[in-house]
């Protein structure tokens, strides 16, 4: 059993660490949430282009051999868009485009832009 003197001595010399004692608990849950929100801020869908604008950019890129960057409408489970596809248009038939040996339906394209370098 502890005496009043032992309790008094303990609190006389006790230095509270303040918020430091909560840091480990705080960081694990909140850092994940903060990094997820930063990811979402950096990876958002660009302004969607209409079908006519997409076809116009495709025509220019195909005839002039320019490099394009395509952002698809599809997003992952966190709501972030998949990585953009960059390359030269290898083929374009009706509603499908071939870029980097990958067939993409034009209806799946959110944004398409011509870029300078690969």
pTM, 2 dp:
0.62
- Are 108 and 73 within 8 A, CB to CB? yes
Better-scored residue on pLDDT, 96 or 18? 96
Position 30 scores a pLDDT of 66
Burial of 86 (0-12, 13-18, 19+ CB in 10 A): middle
Calculate the average pLDDT of the chain.
81
| Greatest C-alpha distance within the chain | 91
User: Which domains are seen in the chain, by residue range?
Assistant: 4-42 (no CATH), 51-115 (2.30.30.100)
pLDDT digits (tens, 9 = 90+) for 42-51: 568 888 999 9
Q: Identify the top-confidence range among 14-18, 24-28, 34-38, 107-111.
A: 107-111
pLDDT digits (tens, 9 = 90+) for 20-76: 555 555 566 666 766 666 555 556 888 899 999 999 999 999 899 899 999 999 988
Q: Please state, in angstroms and rounded to a whole number, the distance separating the CA atoms of residues 18 and 39.
A: 31
């Amino acid at each position: 059993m502890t005496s009043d003197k032992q309790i008094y001595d303990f609190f006389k010399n006790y230095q509270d660490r303040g918020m430091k004692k909560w840091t480990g608990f705080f960081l694990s849950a909140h850092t994940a949430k903060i990094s997820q929100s930063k990811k979402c801020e950096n990876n958002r869908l660009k302004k969607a282009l209409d079908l006519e604008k997409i076809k116009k950019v495709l025509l220019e890129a195909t005839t002039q051999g320019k490099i394009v960057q395509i952002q698809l409408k599809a997003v992952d489970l966190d709501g972030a868009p998949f990585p953009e596809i960059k390359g030269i248009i290898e083929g374009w038939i009706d509603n499908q485009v071939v870029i980097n040996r990958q067939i993409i339906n034009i209806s799946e394209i959110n944004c398409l832009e011509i870029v300078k370098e690969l």
